[in-house]
Amino acid sequence: MKSNQCHYACGSDEHLIARRPFLGSLIAGGAALSGLSSFANPAVSAQLASQQKRMLVIRMHGGLSQLESWDPKPGTDTGGPYRAIPTSVPGMHISELLPYTAKKMHHLSLVRSINTKNGDHSKGTYMMLTGRHPMPGTDYPEIGAVVAKSMDEGGPSLPGHVKISANGTGARSADAAYLGPKYASMSLGGDKPLTNSTRPSDLSEDSAKARDEIRSLVNNRFGSKRRTAETDAYVQSFEQAEELVKRAEVFDLSQESKQDRERYGSHDFGRHCLLARRLLENDITCVQVSHSNYDTHNENFNFHHEQLGEFDRPFSILIDDLHQRGMLESTLVVVLSEFGRTPKINARYGRDHWGNAWSVCLGGCGIQPGAIYGKTNANGTEVTDDEVDAGHLFHTYLKALGLRSTSNFEIGGRKFPIADPAFEPIKDILT
């Protein structure tokens, strides 16, 4: 069954997005050092891996069913038709819809005890990406902005926080809150080279250099007397745009080998995963890739069969490539959603919104491989061991990346906790 035939039941804006159109192209910015062929050398990749930590978020947009993925309950009244299969970790079983990923679980871990007490798309997304419960009049930066800010070494650079959007325009999003626009995500669409990323043909290199020198001189003179956060934002945006122009070839997927393009697949998500690898190799700090649409109020099982069939192989290849290139130990990988799906199967053979007992998959940098944290009961209706909230996960991500999740950002003379002080990391899955 094709997802554009589905009529979702909850009526939110999320469901107006058809599956194939939503999956648009993944592109983002990165630093092409001297072409990308050098990364085929394991020694070079290992050296790169030791220099910078990164984060990759795979967002299963709409609400992935934990029962058809990370916490199957076959043979129960809630389990559905799919079996649980063994993985490369003894004693760990996941859904049979993920056979390729099952072979890579020795690189990954599971948290099966999430209870966010939330079934709203917008609130759930906010909680999972900020680690905070929504509060009127208060906004917090998303994980990508926090990581980009925490790892910023200063000076001109490419955007450190890139999101993949089917209708992305290259604009910055408003997801960095008080950290400022420098750390807001760049939302890009399409797998072609950036538009307007070359110098106009009637502008010589010398003229462009002279023009930039004049701009810098005027900026510095203005800033010495009337510098503001707003003027800094303009300067930072211009400098990042310059870096994007200098390194525009990193956005061109055709520079990847034909063999790799075939391995990952010709569909959107396969291309997105290959581009994600390319961006991580080029020192982008945090990349988020979306796969949609898991909001399966109708025909949950047919939809998950199709969706996870598309997700499984490219994701497993990406994990294997990061490992083979020496990057997985410095790259935190998180597969998350805004909530899970109800254990109860509704009259339309669907599962509805469910935030009370669900799972995420994570691995790589700072995470114990092959671990399972937490537990749900026999039919998945409630958490029975080691319940956690989005705040615990947010602290865990930061800690895994070597950051002090209990520290503060100092913005304009004020201190802002980097993560919600009411929570702490999940120490049992950290290395």
For 313-349, write each residue's pLDDT tens digit.
999 999 999 999 999 999 999 999 999 999 999 999 9
What CATH number has the domain spanning 3-192+252-429? 3.40.720.10
For 177-194, write each residue's pLDDT tens digit.
999 988 999 877 666 556
Q: Tell me what pLDDT residue 143 has.
A: 98
Q: Tell me what pLDDT residue 94 has.
A: 98
The C-alpha atoms of residue 88 and residue 301 are separated, in whole angstroms, by 25
Distances (CA, A) of 82 to 71, 72, 76, 86: 12, 8, 11, 13
Say whether pLDDT at 392 is over 90: yes
Q: Tell me what pLDDT residue 202 has.
A: 82
For 30-51, write each residue's pLDDT tens digit.
333 223 333 344 444 444 444 5
For 74-119, write each residue's pLDDT tens digit.
999 999 999 999 999 999 999 999 999 999 999 999 999 999 999 9
Q: Tell me what pLDDT residue 79 has.
A: 97
For 209-237, write each residue's pLDDT tens digit.
787 778 778 877 777 767 676 677 666 66
Q: What is the pTM of this model?
A: 0.85
- At residue 73, the 3 state secondary structure works out as coil
Q: Tell me what pLDDT residue 189 has.
A: 65
Average pLDDT over residues 133-156: 90
Q: Tell me what pLDDT residue 190 has.
A: 60
In 263-412, DSSP assigns E strands to: 286-292, 331-336, 340-341, 353-354, 358-364, 372-373, 375-376, 383-385, 408-411
Poorest-pLDDT segment among 123-127, 162-166, 203-207, 383-387: 162-166
Average pLDDT over residues 397-413: 95
Share of the chain above pLDDT 90, in %: 61
Poorest-pLDDT segment among 127-131, 274-278, 380-384, 394-398: 274-278
Average pLDDT over residues 137-145: 95
Residue-averaged pLDDT of the chain: 85
Cis amide leading into 41 (omega within 30): no
Average pLDDT over residues 52-58: 95
Sole residue written with tokens 């009526």: 11
- At residue 212, the 3 state secondary structure works out as helix
Residue type, 227: R
Confidence of residue 9 (pLDDT cuts 50, 70, 90): low
The C-alpha atoms of residue 113 and residue 95 are separated, in whole angstroms, by 17
Confidence of residue 245 (pLDDT cuts 50, 70, 90): confident
**Spans of all domains in the chain:** 3-192+252-429, 195-240
